[in-house]
Amino acid sequence: MSQFNATIIDIQEHDSINIVTFEAEGFTLHMMSLELHESIKVGTGLVLGVKASSVAIAKEFSGALSYANQLDLQINEIQEGELLCSLQLKSKNFELESIITKASAKRMHLQVADSITALIKSSDLYIVEVL
Amino acid sequence: MIHININKALHGVNGGMSLDIDLDIKQGEFIALTGASGSGKTTLLRILAGLEEAEGEIEVNNLFWLKNRKSLKPQKRSIGFMHQENSLFLNMSILQNLLFVQKDLDLALRLLSLTGLTELKDKYPKTLSGGQKQRVSLCRSMMRKPDILLLDEPLSALDAKMRTQLQLEILALHKEFNTTTIMVSHDPSEIYKLSTRTLVLENGRIIKDGKTKEVLLKSQGSQKFSFEGELLELKEVDVVIIAIVAIGQQIVEIVVSKKEAENLKVGQRVILGTKAFAPTILRPSQ
């Protein structure tokens, strides 16, 4: 799980479904959610989280993707296992971890210092705690 | 409107404690009362029924049941009380059991009809099943059209199917008579189906009071799917760690990254969570 601080800049609500938009270190992020706790409003500061295995990677990509969250980051570190691969991604003060298969990392020729786009579905992003 | 502000010294399992309740209840509310055994749930019901003494005040629809140490007798309180064990009179028929409480034949027949007991009205309790006896108890507790219906784990001795049926009947009677109902229960599905408001008691005090769904839903941040368990093992596999966690009678596995595992220790209580969007629902294989 990667965690980072964020501030809510918008909440769209319909029935009990919400789309919440956050600002975090210059990035804009979107989260799909059921009912929100009453303490969660526009302007609320909180910690967001995402599982490393829910973060996909695109490199030199052109075209359209449905991922609501597409973050341009740099690979800071690569840890290879037998079948899996853990990537530490970074941009200034923003850090994110991605776990993908080693085969994908090889196929994409991923290397430290590569510029990539981290992809997170809005339903995979969650609130860890309200600050 | 019901106002309860009472205090009573109790001798609980963990030594002395004080039951200290300050509570307002609206007419027609269905309240679930839950909490560990020894937290004071049954005592609170017995105080409301006038079966135990307490300090303080109980006011029900502008009538004081308890004030300045003056206590209205149990039979003068507009209360229906249903327990886990029924206390039907064995030498009376079902109908006679109801009429013993209040000589109101129309009401008795209406209650028997609402709970599907009309055909059994002339039978005696010993010929009835456990579920039927509890139905009769429920009807009997409604015979005085009580302002407050108290249910103390009324269905805990019944099997699942019978429970579901009786739950529907309790709810039907609650609505039909616009009674205020207070039910002690430990069963989250029962509490969810019946009550609109839930109170959690701990050591004689109300530690949670809110809408039933909000009280029951254990959530962690925005994660609606959340369970507490004990971390049994952290297994390093490839570049990830598999955490083995015991939840209730079950063991589950969760994949975490090495960074995530840095803050975890075997033996810790942990909360597992995921978003409501992630889990799948299947029926168990036969």
Residue B12's pLDDT band (boundaries 50, 70, 90)? Answer: low
Alpha carbons B224 and B162: distance in angstroms, whole number: 30
Per-residue pLDDT tens for A54-65? 999 999 999 999
Segments forming the whole domain that contains residue A96: 2-130
Quick check: helix, strand or coil at residue A102? Answer: helix
Token pair 């007419």 is at which residue? B27
Does the beta carbon of B279 lie under 8 angstroms from any beta carbon of chain A? no
From the list A81, A124, A126, which residue is nearest B221 (CB)?
A126
Among the listed residues B47, B36, B21, B43, the one whose alpha carbon sits nearest the alpha carbon of residue B186 = B36
pTM score of the predicted model: 0.73
CATH of domain B225-274: 2.40.50.100
ipTM of predicted assembly, 2 dp: 0.80
Alpha carbons A79 and A82: distance in angstroms, whole number: 10
CATH at residue A20: 2.40.50.100
What is the CATH topology of the domain spanning B2-216?
Answer: Rossmann fold (3.40.50)
The letter for the amino acid at B116 is G
Q: Give the gap in angstroms from C-alpha B273 to the nearest C-alpha of chain A.
A: 10
What is the total count of domains within chain A?
A: 1
Residues of chain B positioned with their CB less than 8 A from the CB of A52: 257, 259-260
Check CB contact under 8 Å for A127 and B258: no
pLDDT of B10 above 90: no
Alpha carbons A1 and A19: distance in angstroms, whole number: 21
Q: Contact A11/A1 with Cβ under 8 angstroms?
A: no
Per-residue pLDDT tens for B126-171? 999 888 998 899 999 999 889 999 999 988 888 888 888 889 989 9
Residue B149: beta bridge partners? B80, B181
Alpha carbons B58 and B69: distance in angstroms, whole number: 11
Residues of chain B positioned with their CB less than 8 A from the CB of A85: 239
Per-residue pLDDT tens for A76-114? 999 999 999 999 999 988 999 999 999 999 999 999 999
Among the listed residues B132, B263, B59, B30, the one whose alpha carbon sits nearest the alpha carbon of residue A128 = B263
Q: Contact A28/A22 with Cβ under 8 angstroms?
A: yes
Does the beta carbon of B109 lie under 8 angstroms from any beta carbon of chain A? no
In which element (H, E) is residue B140 found?
A: helix B130-142
**pLDDT at res. B14:** 67
